[in-house]
Chains A and B, each alone.
Chain A
Amino acid sequence: MTAATLAEASPHRRPSSGSRVLAVFRLHFVNPGTTIVIPWAILAFIFIVNVAIWALIFAAATSPSDRADAQEGTSWSGAATFLFAYMSVVAVQAVNTTFPFAQGYGVTRRDFYLGSSLVFVALSAMYAVGLTVLAEIETATDGWGFGAHMFTAVYYGDGPWFVRLGLFFALFLFFFFLGAAFATVFVRWKAIGMIVSFGAITLVLLAAIALVTLSDGWPAVGAWFGSTGINGVILWSLVPTAVAAVTGYLVLRGATPRN
């Protein structure tokens, strides 16, 4: 018996691997709820809640010194950080539910991971631009009329807008690929895998913290951050992001429906 080649079986031009990667990219946006609508909605909700809180605080804080204190307090606002962490959730959903579906469409693990990675990059860019714009508006309106900080909190530095954009982009990328890596662990090794990997990472982190504490290293750590500066930290963060990205791919390569 001779083997039929695909070229003989169908006159249609076979799609290139690149076009399948693009198809995966589009697949993540067919229903934009998870990837676009919900995160922005959450951000809007958090913002509105914050505005309400600011209104209350600044209504109560009538004296100038109280106002200054309150304003300074908001610069420690972690409100926007929720959006970063939520990207891990988006990545988990994207990988966990879209991967088995894409497999049904005959997509290889490699094409799926590449397409999804492109999605994460695109989303990171979109959200980074969005947050940067909001930060500029915040500065321009002098803290939304309250002198409050949400998008210009201390964590994001006080550099020019393009530095802030870079920081946001790197942070989003990190959380996306971190979530994706955990999701691939789940897809391949299910709950057991998650537990083991969480456990392992926790142990490693604890060990690192213990090491630094025992060798009185915290001042050195602080100094490093200080000397490296925001730009440096952004660049260095790309390392764990890359590690997460590669890990995710290697883990997904062995994923099968059964396990």
Chain B
Amino acid sequence: MTAVVEVSDLSKRFGQFTAIDRASFAIEENTIHGLLGRNGAGKTTLMQLMTGQDFASGGSIRLFGENPVENSRALSGVCFIKESQKYPEDFKAKHVLRSAPWFFPEWDAAYAERLVADFRLPLDRRIKKLSRGQLSAIGVIVGLASRAPLTFFDEPYLGLDAVARQIFYDRLLEDYASHPRTIVLSTHLIDEVSALLERVIVVDEGRIVIDSSAEDLRGSASIVAGPRATVDAFVDGRDVLHREQLGGLSSVTVARLSEAERSAAARAGLELAPVSLQQLIVRTTTSTSDKEWSQAS
């Protein structure tokens, strides 16, 4: 498997605050990745570091095998779409679409036109006057039509309504199938995109807490439910992700259970339920204070 981005022991500090803490992972070629995590976890910082827009405090980054900082050759293969992109004074959407091809050798103008129609983007209106959804649409259109070998989408679809988001996901899948390339989607709307993802990287407070194939994660965790004492006895010593209590009943989310363990749980009279990708990720990324609370109770 070839990697288009290799991150090794990467750290980023802003004064006293450690935004990224010794992160190591790889972005694999021709794969759709989800870069997931809560707001403020460090997803945007990671992408800015990978594209040389920000400078690392420690560790290394290799973009197409090279250091991304001030590297116009490596960056010519990258398209980075942010949520809050600033546009030049008095720019209109048509100016964006006219200039984008100069920077993306793989740009497909006919495809861009079709997307403009799909998203109903007014080309001749000043960007300042566009609605939030139309503003997001520009970013999404540029990201898709660029056909860049590596495309980052940093939550650019937050301004889009549910219908437009679905159009984006559909177009993305369709174009990815016919023009395979490497895509990184960062979002906190996990359930909407999870079926699109092949690899999942979860960031929590600057650390990589999950780096796995999406399929491996689906159904890997289980909810064990039943009388509190029985549940506690069963999960003792295991990796507990989440606890819930209702009266004398307890339901606990645990990471992987083997077949033998599942039978043991069933024999003990406990109920087992599957955990979705979103639930797994949400429960893995609770804040430190939440974890302390749930351990104390």
The answer to A–B direct touch (Cβ < 8 A) is yes
CB <8 Å contact, B3 and A1: yes
CB <8 Å contact, B88 and A101: yes
Q: Map CB proximity to B onto A14-54 as digits: 1 under 8 Å, 0 otherwise.
A: 11010010010011001101100000000000000000000
How many residues from B make CB contacts under 8 Å with A?
Answer: 53
**Known interface pairs A10-B105, A257-B54; A110-B3 also in contact (CB < 8 Å):** no
CB <8 Å contact, B86 and A1: no
**Known interface pairs A108-B70, A256-B48; A12-B105 also in contact (CB < 8 Å):** yes
**Known interface pairs A1-B1, A101-B86, A257-B48; A107-B75 also in contact (CB < 8 Å):** yes
How many residues from A make CB contacts under 8 Å with B?
Answer: 42
Interface residue? B89 (CB, 8 A): yes
Q: How many CB-defined contacts (below 8 Å) exist between A and B?
A: 135
Interface residue? B176 (CB, 8 A): no
**Known interface pairs A31-B95, A257-B48, A258-B54; A10-B149 also in contact (CB < 8 Å):** yes
In the complex, which of the residues A5, A6, A101, A109 has the most CB atoms of chain B within 10 Å of its own CB atom?
A6
Interface residue? A65 (CB, 8 A): no
Which chain B residues lie closer than 8 Å to A31 at the CB level?
A: 88-92, 95
Smallest distance from the beta carbon of A91 to chain B beta carbons, Å?
A: 12
Which chain B residues lie closer than 8 Å to A17 at the CB level?
A: 72-73
Contact pick for B65, options A4, A14, A26, CB 8 Å:
A4
Interface residue? B80 (CB, 8 A): yes
Q: Lowest 10 CB-CB distances: which A-B pairs, in order?
A: A9-B149, A23-B102, A106-B75, A3-B65, A4-B2, A105-B103, A12-B105, A6-B64, A256-B54, A97-B88
Residues of chain A whose beta carbon lies under 8 Å from any beta carbon of chain B: 1-6, 8-10, 12-15, 17, 20, 23, 26-27, 30-31, 33-34, 93-94, 97-98, 100-101, 103-111, 253-254, 256-258
| CB<8 Å pairs between A and B, sample of 7 | A1-B28, A10-B105, A100-B86, A101-B87, A105-B103, A110-B70, A254-B55
